[in-house]
Structure 1
């Protein structure tokens, strides 16, 4: 007799009402003084039926929040489509693939992995379809990056259409608040009294409210991803928490995601000046005493030159930074995915950080999004662009209480500040995100096979760094070959000097990521060989990996890339958390191995 299928964490987690989007009423009313929407445009993706594809031309979107002029659309199901621009259409259709689940993917379903089964036997699946159909149920919640073009039917006999040009960002919740926990309503219960932050007094003396902090579902390894018992006694409670979620049918706000305010604000615990000291911190101190610091955070600002005040003042509202993310393991013998010898190399991703003025506190904070290259997994984590509320802060699916996390934010003007032309602007950071969107779509569908299983040559670290390499190379080629760009550089020598610094940065990144001096074929040809290497096995995969050995493990890659950026004058923030919001004594954070 064959063994019964193993349940996935995704299936287990969906057993709880608070983990299912349909649990939350579409009609939500919150006080704008106490709550703010996570974004202007938000909703739940719905995969069209096969016979609807030609009509929908993308995905359905159950609209949860809209711009001020379009409030009448909230609660409706609308078309979500790609903008009909040549550049956008070229990106979309160059990545479209037929999907036929491989035998390996079908077999791994019984082992508890989640695959895009609803897309099986679909022709030319596009990225909106792969995002909407990544899981067995319609439960991917997203926010849309603006601008969003709205087209409504004059006769209103057809749903409205929303047109976008960039991939939607996965989120958890609809609204957020800034609160301090007072105490549980009943001892051991999951209803908590909270007090809201008062922007006028700059203290937590605003209105009190009861919120729901539901007990998370234990996973297949008998681990709780987060717990709430004792959160009111946590030292981080003094500076408050951002809670994200929505109201349940009873009208109680459910805190689906948490973020310590002290982790995201621009007030570092420590400032380190000097290149040597900054590099030493990245190499030797960033993961220091991880186990001993369970439940703690640490924020450090690094600058290679100048004084502390100048370094802090250089981060202003509107600034962007390259985010380098890694996470570590679980100690105490509880690591679900150990390597031989007890090692755990962790996970790697890039992302984007923005400095925004958060209106509830009227203060600058970091707004973080991650370009997550996930292999097929049992949690139902979808490769894509994930907001902090989803990737880190989500109490059930996120990593804040589950693993130690390290975010390094690198600000370097030649890489993160756009180059402005007559009709558009572009930065290396933006180009990298475009390349990664291509990769993320292919990961969602396994290059057409339905599943991705990491190897030494293709994994979160290698494929993220392929996009970094491609972004700088692409700008180099585009700028050299475009006469209008050359004319702009000739007329603006300061921009030419900044571009020269980008080329030098790219040269040093190439030497770092390609120590053999040979460019891998799948890197050289801008992902055209990506699916080939994704499914390649054996010695060829190993030889391919050795060409980029510094990008083989998360610790090597994050240290190497950060060191190069610091050498070129970048300033950096290091945001560290060690299983914050998890008060289970059996859970112990473990530092990432080199």
Structure 2
């Protein structure tokens, strides 16, 4: 009876479902328009995130906190006059539905746009604040070409599900969408609508509120944290009335420090921190799935960098209290170096050995070091940085070491870190009226667990954010490169061109396609595709594009020919030399990576997906080639550009290359600044095997040997082989002349018959085996040991005298080795001195060839030809112990 009742109830539920479905189907024509309207109406505030919808990750752990959700901060709430807006236009991106994109594309031919919830606006558009408007591109040829190149259909492969389960954040809301462009990928980069941006460049409002208002931009929005900024000094934590209101979890021993702090604002009149006092909240961030806190307020007042004050960004919360979302130490961006280096060699020494020295002991501190080899005083070096100056920023972060259970550590003596480019500019501080640095990053960032998105990021968002910023948990090296040939525009008789803008554009384009994994949703890091490899690719593409732009402009070429002595022409020639040095750095093997070659055509709009020439900038530019799907090629392709395979190597060697070309470098080195997490410590970003150093020194000997090995593997050009043959011919002539001179003065029979025509009587198989043997021993072995490993690989910043000093040392060791060889093999006869002289001559020939060709293959070939020719043709087979086994057997 009970079973029948349950069955009847089950059938009754099914009948209700079918009945309701039939009614809904019948009235579908009536409610479909209403559904469409609701679906396409943007949210006025973010819905509370559902933590269970995400796999465990840092993003999932932090987004659940109320103070990390956008609707925690009322849009209408404004702080006191002590704060300033972070920009003219600031807002939150909201991802429209796929259907909304289709409808807009059909009506306006626009495929890339997003909703923007306006948080800040200029005074004349104050009524736009709190409204949700459309954010779209200015309809110019450049923006249309940019959107076309950056847009891809997004289809996740099955492998993405596995990384999602590991806590990696992918743009899950974009999966299945067509023609996802830069604005859409930025709005949909996170699982929720929580990306705040500031609009830079020319912003054009269109329409009126209530009548399709639109903001049109010419630059990709910059990711930002907070709405307002203030300059304060933290005085003391303010305990809550109830101890139970203290944070429940924080680094270190309980109790946790209060979230509330008494601060004093900067007073521009007295130029001191004696302005208005206020209580602000700096919320303790929740720990992630590994128990790591991205930020903490413990010992914040006692921070070594606290005296200079902090720039804090954030917004008033629902109670009106200003809640800090990002922090930046003022000391970091002040134009006040702690050390100024005016000597070129000392500058190289700082880059190689001092920048990361004693990194653990420097926890919580900041280093600010200026290197200017052209200035004669520290004051003159500092004075060269003027308001408005731009600089290329090169960013490198290290690891999160320490005693924490989830600490990072060296693997085989190596910690890779992360590299990116960015833009630094000298600006006027609105609070102090002093000159400071404004820093933005152009991130090329693989998918991670914290939700960091590729593209333009302010310092406050990428470094200072309490949610996912790097400043509190990682040591960082930001080097600002000031070089007029690189950063200043060129005016060729009215035709204005900018290499720097080309570089920033290429990096923005690569960042946009990284956000969607070029259509896969997965920006996988491999040995050949990574933050540093693809940032370097952006540099390479900028060089190629700028060269193409100049060559294809008849007006510019004519002006250069007509004005050879103009300062702009001279500066352009220096840029050409810099470009050659950069290409050599980016292509150390002497050959171009196949994927970079195709991407140069694709991203510059030269070829279509099928490889044919494109006819329109709006045409599909084709896939941005990634080699993630070609696992066998990964390692070899990465080795072709091995100098940019490790972030630390790219950071250091590019800095030295720019310094060699006349740049001024400013190093900014925060080391886990802010509150103190006793469980973590800075971990140096290293070169390959760079953590293994000689005792009591900073010398990573194994690293040097690896770099010299890879450097020697450079593929020779045709010209290099011609140089080798020329040196070989000269060596042969000198060797024969020297031998004949000695023969005329020596009565020895062995000497008189040395180096004379006497071919060995061997079969073709024995001859082939002999050649193979001599290729490896002695040619390869001796050249690798006495030339490649002992002599530094030629680099632009390596002084000639230093290189030749190492070369002479290597030559001396080689001759000593040959002398010991003759002695140990009991060949100390009358012919030994002549053989030593010829060995020294061979060493000189290979050293000269190595200096001219920069390739080990040419010197191995020279050595092999010389030894094989002597042994097979000039009687060398007669001199033990070079007699082979089969020759002995034949006697």
Indicate the TM-score class for this superposition, using the shorter chain for normalisation: over 0.9
Q: Distance in 2 between matches of 1:251 and 1:361?
A: 26
Does 2:127 align with 1:72?
yes
Q: CA deviation at 1:338?
A: 5.1
Q: Counterparts of 1:579-594 in structure 2 under 5 Å?
A: 579-594=672-687
Greater per-residue strand proportion: 1
TM-score of the superposed pair, with normalisation by structure 1: 0.96
Q: 1:98 to 1:338 in 2, by over 3 A?
A: farther
String of CA shifts for 1:277-318, please: whole Å, max 9, x gaps. 111111111111110111011100111112222211110110
String of CA shifts for 1:151-207, please: whole Å, max 9, x gaps. 114xx4423111111111101111110100111111731110000011111101101
Q: CA deviation at 1:55?
A: 4.8
Q: CA deviation at 1:425?
A: 4.3
Q: Counterparts of 1:366-515 in structure 2 under 5 Å?
A: 366-420=437-491, 425-489=496-560, 490=562, 493-515=566-588
Q: Distance in 2 between matches of 1:530 and 1:519?
A: 19
Contact residue 225 and residue 582 of structure 1 kept, 8 A: no
Does 2:386 align with 1:293?
no
Q: CA deviation at 1:534?
A: 4.1
Q: Distance in 2 between matches of 1:237 and 1:88?
A: 43
Contact residue 345 and residue 592 of structure 1 kept, 8 A: yes
Contact residue 57 and residue 449 of structure 2 kept, 8 A: yes
Corresponding residue to 1:279 among 343, 348, 359: 348
Q: CA deviation at 1:575?
A: 0.2
Q: Distance in 2 between matches of 1:179 and 1:517?
A: 53
Corresponding residue to 1:84 among 116, 135, 139: 139
Q: CA deviation at 1:31?
A: 3.2
String of CA shifts for 1:489-510, please: whole Å, max 9, x gaps. 4458211111111110010111
Q: CA deviation at 1:539?
A: 2.7
String of CA shifts for 1:58-113, please: whole Å, max 9, x gaps. 00000111123211111111111011001110111122111011101122212111
The match for 1:223 is: 292
Q: Which moved more, 1:413-422 or 1:180-189?
A: 413-422
Q: CA deviation at 1:487?
A: 4.4
Q: CA deviation at 1:421?
A: 6.2
The match for 1:552 is: 645
Q: Distance in 1 between matches of 2:644 and 2:182?
A: 26
Unaligned runs of 5+ in 1: none
Q: CA deviation at 1:422?
A: 7.8
Q: CA deviation at 1:521?
A: 2.1
Q: Counterparts of 1:18-417 in structure 2 under 5 Å?
A: 18-32=67-81, 34-55=82-103, 57=110, 58-153=113-208, 156-186=209-239, 188-307=257-376, 308-332=378-402, 334=404, 340-341=411-412, 343-417=414-488
Larger radius of gyration: 2
Q: Distance in 2 between matches of 1:452 and 1:460?
A: 10
TM-score of the superposed pair, with normalisation by structure 2: 0.64
Contact residue 382 and residue 444 of structure 1 kept, 8 A: yes
Q: CA deviation at 1:591?
A: 0.8
Aligned length: 588
Q: 1:294 to 1:574 in 2, by over 3 A?
A: same
**SS, match of residue 533 in structure 1:** coil
Q: Distance in 2 between matches of 1:410 and 1:104?
A: 40
Q: CA deviation at 1:446?
A: 1.0
Q: CA deviation at 1:522?
A: 2.2
Q: Distance in 1 between matches of 2:230 and 2:492?
A: 39
Q: Distance in 2 between matches of 1:540 and 1:241?
A: 48
Contact residue 305 and residue 364 of structure 2 kept, 8 A: no
Q: 1:64 to 1:276 in 2, by over 3 A?
A: same
Quote the RMSD (CA, aligned, Å).
1.8
**SS, match of residue 578 in structure 2:** helix
Contact residue 522 and residue 530 of structure 1 kept, 8 A: no
Q: Distance in 2 between matches of 1:407 and 1:89?
A: 33
Greater per-residue helix proportion: 2
Q: 1:100 to 1:423 in 2, by over 3 A?
A: farther
Contact residue 495 and residue 556 of structure 2 kept, 8 A: no
Q: Distance in 1 between matches of 2:388 and 2:545?
A: 25
Q: Distance in 2 between matches of 1:440 and 1:257?
A: 23
Q: CA deviation at 1:333?
A: 5.3
Q: Which has the higher contact order (CA 8 A, sep 6+)?
A: 1
